């Protein structure tokens, strides 16, 4: 399902296929919100009723109907002919005249064989028709509920938070295996996540996975504009890293909660999502400032499964020598509080950093980015604490007591 366009992004358009299940995004050179293109029926590589045979497994497949078309090629619903204890009776046949994406998909099909959260690749084989041009085939697991974008469009509602956490953690298990092998997926879109019975989400399409030689990443050329990080789309950063895969998973999280995968989620929308503050915080960290994102699938799995300790006010004897920042709404102007802190011997910063040792917390701002305990500064405190920095949280009443001391 891959196509490198003139602007180095993949279109997120989809063909108007009669069945959305396993239909890849339609390739093209238009931006993500362009009008949908109709597939050309005269360019179909297979026809309903046609039978193909794999020289690898000797299994035959009868083509039932066309499902969709993408950068990789075309996808058809097919039925296995003859007995098999391995290959399902109903499969998807993916066919292309290009070998590169086929090789990668076949390889990752073996690498992830029988992984419960990856679409299975049952069979991979080439065939040469009468015109002498080889075609490359994959027989894939059929997800009868289609891809996530089509599923959410039909359902017209979001998923419960418990289900969202469980299913995305499952997808992340696949991504964790890739990241531990220094592999980057780069195509974690709602069109490449499929809905199986349960509902259970499975990840498919590994056609643009690449291996990085170190954690510095790989040059970002091919991507899908629907879920690619904004800074990469803008050319602000040259290389795709594991944290950019994490950005895409954050988009999937927000789309599942929202119940709409037709457009990318903005950070300004997060506080209005119908979920708990902790999940909002996770989504914001995935989509927010790049250097503060979770660094890999491992880190994001840990966050989804283990909520952080609540933020509690600490105890401090003096402000002398501390590096201090303020957050929230104070009873007095921030400038007045800053002067009082300096008179008491504190060094005042505009926001928390690796040098910060004390944060004074006022009343929560109702417009905080991700809930009561998840303003930008509070989220940064949690991130720094997780990295081992010791930061004491003071309530405003305690701060003024310490500030009046000489």
pLDDT tens figures, 99-148: 988 999 999 999 999 899 999 999 999 999 989 999 999 999 999 999 99
Phi (first) and psi of residue 49, to 5 degrees: 95, -15
What is the predicted pLDDT for the residue at 36?
Answer: 35
Concatenated DSSP letters of 233-274: HTTSSSEE-HHHHHHHHHHHHHHHHHT--SSPPPGGGGGGSS
For residue 58, give the DSSP letter. Answer: -
Ramachandran assignment for 327, one of left (phi > 0), alpha (psi -120 to 50 degrees), beta (any other): beta
Query: CB burial class (10 A; 0-12, 13-18, 19+) of residue 294?
Result: buried
- Strand pairing report for 392-395 and 121-127: unpaired
Band the pLDDT of 393: cuts 50, 70, 90: confident
Q: What SS3 class is residue 150?
A: helix
Instruction: Give the span between the Cα atoms of 179 and 299, in whole angstroms.
Output: 11
% pLDDT > 70, the chain: 87
- Which CATH code fits 41-141? 3.30.200.20
b/e 330-344 (16+ beta carbons within 10 angstroms → b): beeeeeebbebbeeb
**pLDDT at residue 22, as a whole number:** 42
Which backbone phi and psi does 320 adopt, to 5 degrees? -65, 125
CATH of domain 148-305: 1.10.510.10
Common-topology check for domains 41-141 and 148-305: no
Peptide bond just before 199 cis, omega within 30 deg: yes
* Residue 168: burial class (beta carbons within 10 Å; 0-12, 13-18, 19+): buried
Q: In the prediction, which pLDDT does 386 show?
A: 79
**Of 325, 339, 314, 334, the residue nearest 395 (C-alpha):** 314
pLDDT at 32: 32
Cα 374 to chain centroid, rounded: 21
Nearest to 80 by CA among 22, 18, 136, 123: 123
Of 74-88, 290-304, 360-374, give the range with the top mean pLDDT: 74-88
pLDDT tens for residues 171-185?
999 999 999 999 999
Q: What is the pTM of this model?
A: 0.77
Model confidence at 242: pLDDT above 90: yes
Mean local confidence (pLDDT), 155-160: 95
User: How far is the CA of 342 from the CAs of 39, 288, 349, in angstroms?
Assistant: 68, 32, 11
The Cβ of residue 258 has, within 10 Å, a number of other Cβ atoms equal to 21
The pLDDT tens digits of the residues spanning 297-320 come to 999 999 898 887 777 778 888 999
Strand order from edge to edge, sheet including 347-348: 347-348, 323-327, 358-361, 392-395
**DSSP for 347-393, written as a single string:** EE-SS--TT--EEEE-BPPTT-TTSTT-SHHHHHHHHHHHTT---EE
Length of the chain: 406
- Domains of the chain, by residue range, sit at 41-141, 148-305, 323-403
The mean pLDDT value for 159-169 works out to 96
User: Measured in whole angstroms, how far is the alpha carbon of residue 229 from the centre of its chain?
Assistant: 10
Backbone torsions φ then ψ of 106, nearest 5 degrees: -65, -40
- Second CATH level (architecture) for the domain 323-403: 3-Layer(aba) Sandwich (3.40)
At residue 145, the pLDDT reads 94
């Amino acid at each position: 399902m891959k196509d490198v366009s003139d602007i180095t992004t993949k279109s997120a358009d989809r063909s108007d296929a009669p069945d959305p299940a396993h239909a890849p995004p339609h390739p093209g050179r238009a931006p993500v919100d362009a009008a949908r293109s109709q597939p050309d029926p005269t360019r179909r590589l297979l026809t309903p009723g046609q039978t193909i045979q794999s020289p690898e497994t000797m299994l035959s497949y009868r083509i039932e109907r066309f499902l969709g078309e993408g950068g990789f090629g075309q996808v058809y619903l097919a039925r296995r002919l003859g007995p098999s204890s391995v290959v399902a009776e109903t499969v998807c046949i993916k066919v292309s005249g290009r070998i590169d994406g086929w090789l990668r998909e076949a390889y990752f099909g073996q690498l992830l064989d029988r992984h419960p959260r990856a679409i299975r690749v049952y069979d991979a084989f080439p065939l040469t028709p009468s015109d002498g041009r080889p075609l490359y085939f994959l027989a894939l697991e059929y997800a009868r509920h289609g891809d996530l974008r089509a599923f959410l469009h039909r359902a017209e509602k979001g998923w419960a938070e418990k289900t969202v956490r469980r299913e995305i953690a499952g997808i992340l298990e696949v991504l964790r295996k890739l990241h531990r092998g220094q592999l980057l997926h780069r195509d974690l879109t709602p069109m490449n996540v499929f809905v199986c019975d349960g509902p259970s989400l499975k990840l498919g399409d590994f056609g643009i996975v690449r291996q990085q030689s170190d954690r510095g990443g790989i040059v970002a050329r091919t991507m899908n504009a629907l879920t690619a990080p904004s800074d990469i789309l803008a050319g602000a950063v040259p290389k795709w890293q594991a944290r950019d895969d994490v950005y895409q998973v954050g988009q999937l999280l927000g789309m599942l909660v929202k119940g709409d995968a037709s457009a990318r989620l903005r950070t300004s929308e997060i506080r209005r999502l119908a979920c708990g503050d902790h999940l909002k915080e996770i989504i914001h960290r995935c989509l927010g400032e790049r250097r503060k994102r979770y660094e890999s699938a491992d880190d994001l799995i840990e966050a989804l499964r283990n909520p952080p300790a609540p933020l509690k006010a600490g105890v401090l004897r003096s402000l002398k020598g501390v590096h201090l920042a303020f957050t929230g709404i104070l009873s007095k102007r921030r400038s007045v509080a800053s002067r009082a802190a300096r008179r008491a011997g504190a060094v005042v910063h505009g926001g928390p950093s690796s040098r910060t040792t004390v944060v004074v917390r006022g009343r929560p701002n109702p417009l905080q980015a991700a809930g009561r305990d998840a303003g930008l500064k509070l989220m940064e405190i949690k991130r720094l604490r997780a990295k081992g920095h010791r930061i004491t949280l003071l309530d405003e009443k305690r701060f003024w007591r310490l500030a009046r001391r000489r």
